[in-house]
Structure formats: structure tokens, C-alpha cells
Amino acid sequence: MLVLASNQPEQFDWAINDRMDEIVEFDLPGLSERERLVRHYFDIYLLQPSLDSRQRIRLANNIDYAGECTEVARRTEGFSGREISKIAVAWQERVSAPTHLTTIVN
């Protein structure tokens, strides 16, 4: 069995497509799916690490978790699940970066 995944399947050579017995297309996530993905990745990359005292990540007490997740989902229309996960990884890298590196990047 061979499984290929792409956000741009039209980029595959025709010979590859010709050899595929089945092609299954998945649409990009809608608003509710994006919100679930944002919540999922927020939990993995920010919330869970913030609960570990050995981690440097600390979340603000007054964060509007539901509102922020909804806003991020709204702003990520047209994004794939992979792209949303990469955003969450970037959040984690940003909050984990030493202060002097954060200052340089800004």
C-alpha cells in the first residue's frame, strides 16, 4: 500500500495519478474544524507545557481561551490542518525563546 498526501494533488505527475487505484480528496477544514484544531494544538503546544513546572511557558490568567481560539479559527480560513499545527508550533517557539532572542526578532 502506498499513501500520498498533498494540498496540491494536481502537482503530481500524470503517471503517478495513473497508477493510483483510488484517490480520496479531503476538503480544507471549515470554521468549526479549524476551531477544534486550534484548541487541540493550543492544548498540546501551550496549555500542557504550561502545567509542567519544568517548562518556561506560563499562560496569562485572564486569557479568553474560547474567544481567542474562535478568532484564530476565523483568521485561518483556507489553511490546512498541517498549517494550523505549524502556527501552534511557532507560538510555542515564540513563548519559549529567551528574552534576548525575542527582542532581536522584534
- The answer to whether residue 63 is domain-embedded is yes
pLDDT over threshold 70, residue 102: no
- The answer to whether residue 71 is domain-embedded is yes
Q: Measure the CA–CA gap between 64 and 71, rounded to whole angstroms.
A: 10
- The answer to whether residue 97 is domain-embedded is yes
The number of folded domains in the chain is: 1
- The answer to whether residue 84 is domain-embedded is yes
Count of CA atoms in the C-beta half-sphere (13 A) of 23: 13
**pLDDT tens sequence across 15-50:** 988 888 888 888 999 999 999 999 999 889 888 777
- The answer to whether residue 70 is domain-embedded is yes
| Residue numbers of the domain that contains 74 | 29-105
- The answer to whether residue 49 is domain-embedded is yes
- The answer to whether residue 43 is domain-embedded is yes
Which CATH number characterizes residue 49's domain? 1.10.8
Q: Measure the CA–CA gap between 101 and 92, rounded to whole angstroms.
A: 14
Give the pTM.
Answer: 0.73
